[in-house]
Chain A
Amino acid sequence: MRTFLESHPHDVLVIGAGGAGLRAAIEAADQGASVGLVCKSLLGKAHTVMAEGGVAAALANVAADDSWETHFRDTMVGGKMLNNWRMALLHARESPERVRELERWGALFDRTTDGRILQRPFGGHTHPRLAHTGDRTGLEMIRTLQDRFVATGQAVYMECTITRLLTAEGRVTGAMGYWRTTGQPVVFPARAVILATGGIGRAYQVTSNSWEYSGDGHALAYEAGAELIDMEFVQFHPTGMVWPPGVRGLLVTEAVRGEGGVLKNALDERFMWKYLPEDRRHEYAETEDEARSWVEALSAGRSTDARQPPELSTRDNVSRAIYTEVREGRGSPHGGVFLDISYLPAERVKRKLPSMYDQFESLAGVDITKGPMEVGPTTHYVMGGVRVDADTAASTRPGLYAAGEVAGGMHGANRLGGNSLSDLLVFGMRAGAGAAAFARTEAAVPDADSDQLEVELVALAAPFRRSDGENPYHLQAELQQTMQALVGIYRSAEDLEEAVRRIADLRRRWARCRVIGERAYNPGWNLVFELRNMLTISEAIARSALQRLESRGAHSRLDHPDGDAEWGRLNSVASRDRDTMRVTTSPVPEMPELLREIISVRAKAAA
């Protein structure tokens, strides 16, 4: 019997329409490729809209002495030197031009008094560096990119979920999935495929991520035989909402601290000073007065010798500090700490942080111009991802590319705020160029392999065929509890081994998932396949975390509390070996002497 499937061939297929996917699609189209852009939601709803604080680029508009060298150094130091140096270099050098390019495409960033793009300070950045539009920078960026791509006239496939990459002779040759609105299968044969699917936060209970963040691209790449690196590094953003329960985990932008927000515990102590790492302490204000005069200077738009407040330490450090304060009994009533910006003029708070003002007012009944917010850590970003070539974003599988959060290497062990928006611009563009160049070398769009299509058609239908079985929502809730409790901010061998066992058990139960209703717009059925992806990436996170016998960046081991020089030279690598996951290591790429000097010279100069 022959089955005919709806098919849309393209030179370049882009999976995911957030910032990275859109930027990649624009570049591939500009290079003459026929582009198909597939997204799980409606166009313009991707997770990039939630990015608030800004895009990091050494434009040097506010701090004249900022430069790509300083940005490169901050990124490497913030990533605890585990970053792919070449990615960090390209990122630091190219992000200013990528930001200016957005302005040429219609973006409206906030301005300095002399008319340039305004930049705000953020944790781990030694200079004010984040170009922004109030606290809705991501929306400004995605709308600009969306309009630009729509104007190319290329194809957009909305509300379409990809469940499998197609392969032939070791190459990726397209993808298959289904329309969410009808549930009908669809095939996208392609000369090259770019993954731009974002992150994995939905595997955790408390997260700032939307439902879409189920690690789809990570799992698709893994299944297709590509390598994932550094999966143990999951960023817990220090400030998520903790109250009321319905909004637990919702992001409170780091821009609150960038604009002068102060963290205090239940004893009214400004505790961040206690937690500054000794080797970086010189970069932060020593007294409340110095921190305050830094805020005043920022507000007045003038330069100052005062150093930044301790709240602007890197995210891994601030998250551990808040976690520790709460665990030791100095937390706020709902298990967080206090973040206060109400000492600044109300008008200024509303102008610089309008969506935070609105979010707390409408969802928590708190006026942030009059009193403190309650905040605590929330799962926010995965540093790990598909192993890629820095220049072309090519994965270890020919024909497969990855950009944005789904790609690994750029951020090392901890990402600096603002570096994700610049990452997706720089490497989105490079992935679009890389994939378009690869597509040109392929004579024809490859035919889809009918065996692979058939296997996937059976898998898609299976959950409807079972008369009894597991509810995917309940399995997801159990997975989230497991990851939250055992693979969170602090980890231990005992917990991680337990997590690996539980994930294996959940995977067995997953095979018995059962759904009801029709295929059309059926979220329970959709969740079955997202859950498959979440189980894969959860296993990769837990196994990689178990392997790394040290604490570094966002990975903190209670049983190995210190950094280890040997581990500092190794990336973790997870890959598929038939039906089991293999986790090994690979040496961190060797940095050229010239760049090594940039890092050490500046570190000494600051000391």
Chain B
Amino acid sequence: MAIETKSPAAARQVALEPFGGDASRALVERREPEVPAGARLVRMLVHRGTADEGGAFAEYEIPVEEGMVVLDALLWIQANVAPDLAVRWNCKAAKCGSCSAEVNGRPSLTCKTRLGDFAPDETITVEPMRTFPLIKDLVTDVSWNYEVNKQIVPFSPPEDAPPSAWRWRQADVDRGQEFRKCIECFLCQDVCHVLRNHEIQSQFMGPRFLVRVAALEMHPLDRADRLEHLRGAGGIGYCNITKCCTDVCPEHIKITDNAIIPLKERIADEYFDPLQIAWRRLTGRGRKGPGTSKATEDPKSTGPPETPA
């Protein structure tokens, strides 16, 4: 391993222009950062620029500490070389899903991607998620996701649900809990070829929201019916189960197997299975008929206690 002791040069522009545009903009402050003598340096290419002005890769050399992750390196650049480097992050603990980017082409949480996982002399390239419009540097406009989310019918318990605590078994909530681990990093949306390559955002809600619908549909007390929405505006038919979403999920949710395929099966039962359609016509019972609730009122529970004034 080559040990470099020279002070890292302030960012140099290099001839990689994934978003096109003018690479001649002065992007960094000319201040030589302090680097501990003898520190190992990692070379990183970071996308800089905005949608309007175009972007280019800037090169940085970062002193490496043990256990450092890509986000640490980006924050080091901010603190020492380029204080205006735009990075979206919050918890740095893989719990909030803010710091999503593409590291050497792979959609990743930068807070969970360790520098030690790369070869010592490997250049690490960090780009914004490509599926969403660029705002600046590594930050993209993910507001589309929030709009899609608003279209989903929210949790809808039965009107006559008891006002106190409900009873259900752990097995009844296990599956829902798997889906609710989602931290909304939108890496699954980023990698999904329906959104990334075919760009039919107006016709397909994407894996993240299929997971949310699955969580609602499999909730033991939910009574809403979202199948028409899934088949129509949700565009579940566009998913051809290539499992790329499952592959990048940092929460290891089995998006395709546990959420999307069961929803597709429900759609098939509801709209395409002649026997089931005939049965429903005969009995007059819908998919989510009354009397199927697994929850019962907790007999010992009472309403809110009176609070003395």
A residues near B, CB below 8 A?
A: 41-47, 49-50, 59, 68, 89-90, 93-94, 96-97, 100, 103-106, 108-111, 114-117, 133-134, 136, 139-140, 143, 147-148, 150-151, 156, 158, 181, 210-212, 243-247, 250-251, 355, 358-359, 362-364, 471-474, 477, 515-518, 520-525, 527
Contact = CB atoms under 8 A, between A and B. Distances in A.
Contact of B98 (A45, A245, A247, A520): A45
A516 B83 contact: yes
Nearest to A181: B135
A230 B74 CA distance: 36
Kindly list the 6 A-B residue pairs having the minimum CB-CB distance in the complex, ordered from nearest: A244-B67, A524-B83, A517-B84, A106-B155, A115-B167, A97-B304
Contact of A523 (B84, B166, B167): B84
Interface string B173-191: 1001100110110000000
A467 to B, nearest CB: 12
Contact of B303 (A97, A251, A521, A523): A97
A50 B93 CA distance: 8
A106 B219 contact: yes
Contacts, number: 185
A493 B96 CA distance: 39
Contacts of B50: 520
A50 B135 contact: no
A59 B95 contact: no
Interface string B242-278: 0000000000000000000000000000000000000
A359 B95 CA distance: 10
Nearest to A136: B181
Interface of B: 29, 31, 50, 65-69, 72, 78-80, 83-98, 112, 114, 135-137, 139, 141-143, 146, 149-150, 154-155, 157, 161, 163-170, 172-173, 176-177, 180-181, 183-184, 216, 219, 222, 298, 301, 303-305, 307
B92 A250 contact: yes
A148 B154 contact: yes
Nearest to B156: A106
Nearest to B212: A147
Contact of B65 (A110, A156, A244, A359): A244
Contacts of A103: 165-166
Nearest to A355: B95
Contacts of B173: 108-111
A523 B95 contact: no
Given A94-B305, A104-B163, A110-B170, 14 more contacts: A42-B98, A42-B142, A108-B176, A115-B169, A133-B180, A147-B154, A147-B155, A148-B154, A247-B93, A471-B83, A520-B86, A521-B86, A523-B78, A523-B83
A408 to B, nearest CB: 21
A244 B65 CA distance: 8
Contacts of B88: 41-42
Contact of B307 (A59, A93, A108, A518): A93
A520 B141 CA distance: 13
A150 to B, nearest CB: 6
A545 B79 CA distance: 30
A524 B86 CA distance: 9
19 contacts: A43-B146, A45-B90, A94-B305, A100-B301, A103-B165, A106-B222, A109-B173, A133-B177, A133-B180, A210-B92, A246-B72, A247-B92, A250-B93, A362-B94, A362-B114, A516-B83, A517-B83, A523-B87, A524-B78
Q: Which one of B87, B143, B165, B177 has the greatest number of beta carbons of chain A within 10 Å?
A: B165
B94 A244 contact: no
Given A100-B301, A362-B112, A516-B29, A108 B78 contact: no
Nearest to A67: B305
A129 B149 CA distance: 34
B84 A45 contact: no
A46 B97 CA distance: 11
B150 to A, nearest CB: 6
A477 to B, nearest CB: 7
